[in-house]
Amino acid sequence: MLAGNWKMNKTPSEAQLFANTLVNALAGFNSFDIYIAPVFVALDRVREVVSSSNIKLAAQNMYYEDSGAFTGEVSPKMLKELGVQAVIIGHSERRRIFGETDELINKKIKKALAEGLTPIFCIGETLEERQKGLTFCVLEKQVREGLYGLNTDDVKKVVIAYEPVWAIGTGVVATPEQAQEAHEFVRALLAKIYDEEVAQSVTILYGGSVTPENFFGLFVKPDIDGALVGGASLKESFVELAKIMASVLG
């Protein structure tokens, strides 16, 4: 999977225009899933552009209730009506800036699954945690609490995005070895909590300063199944990333 997280960028008309560029440039890439996640207010216009293409629509967040007194929130039912098929949950910016906890993230993941949306569940350690040797500890807590209560069938539908916080938007990418080590750890953890079949079937993306210059080395690693891309998804470089994936997949 190649997923572009546009974050709080592009107005609805800019998003529509860029989606149109992507539809043309990415036609024919069918060996992996391509998602773009525009801001909520651009989803409807982007849907019109991508609806008969190979590009799927993701949202950047959601709340776990259907409707009600939750000012400023958006429900999965609303997203589904706009053609959304996946939703990013627990992005480090949501955790850090908006105070999202593992418990809240768990509720959102469960609700997304109940509504048939694919959760793109983000995990990752801060620089301080890495420097203190806590990376695996942090990842284990986030995975265990984020996936708490999910059965084997459900967990297979979750996409996990390993996004070291120190690599997001910083230009400092994890080395392929660092990323592979974390992905391998997460997969082994899934095998421990569930079983080997689950561990092998869960898609694990890498995210954090992915560019066409560094992506090949990451994507060829055995446990890296694709990327969640921020900055480089806002430009033509997203197409370059798709080309790299296609060349590796053959």
Q: What is the dihedral of CA 131, 137, 138, 143, to 10 degrees?
A: 150
Q: Which member of 100, 129, 163, 183 is catalytic?
A: 163
Known catalytic residue at 145? no
CB 227, min distance to ligand PEP, A: 8
Q: Which is nearer to ligand PEP, 160 or 168 (CB)?
A: 168
For residue 205, give Cα distances in angstroms to 27, 33, 68, 179.
22, 12, 33, 10
Compute how many other C-beta atoms are within 10 angstroms of the C-beta atom of residue 149. 9
Q: Which member of 91, 93, 100, 129 is catalytic?
A: 91
Q: Which is nearer to ligand PEP, 27 or 172 (CB)?
A: 172
Known catalytic residue at 183? no
For residue 218, give Cα distances in angstroms to 84, 115, 178, 189, 199.
28, 32, 10, 21, 19
CB 4, min distance to ligand PEP, A: 9
For residue 34, give Cα distances in angstroms to 54, 63, 73, 85.
7, 24, 26, 11
Q: Which is nearer to ligand PEP, 88 or 117 (CB)?
A: 88
- Residues making contact with ligand PEP (CB under 6 A): 5, 7, 163, 168-169, 207-210, 228-232
CB 7, min distance to ligand PEP, A: 6
CB 222, min distance to ligand PEP, A: 21
Q: Which is nearer to ligand PEP, 95 or 187 (CB)?
A: 95
Contact 7, 15 (CB under 8 A): no
Q: Which residue is nearest to ligand PEP (CB)?
A: 230
Distance CA 220, CA 31 (A): 15
- Read off the tokens for 75: 């429900």
Cβ-in-10-Å burial (0-12, 13-18, 19+) of 203 comes to middle
CB 94, min distance to ligand PEP, A: 10
Q: Which is nearer to ligand PEP, 143 or 168 (CB)?
A: 168
Closest CA to 204 of 184, 220, 178: 184
Residues known to be catalytic: 91, 163
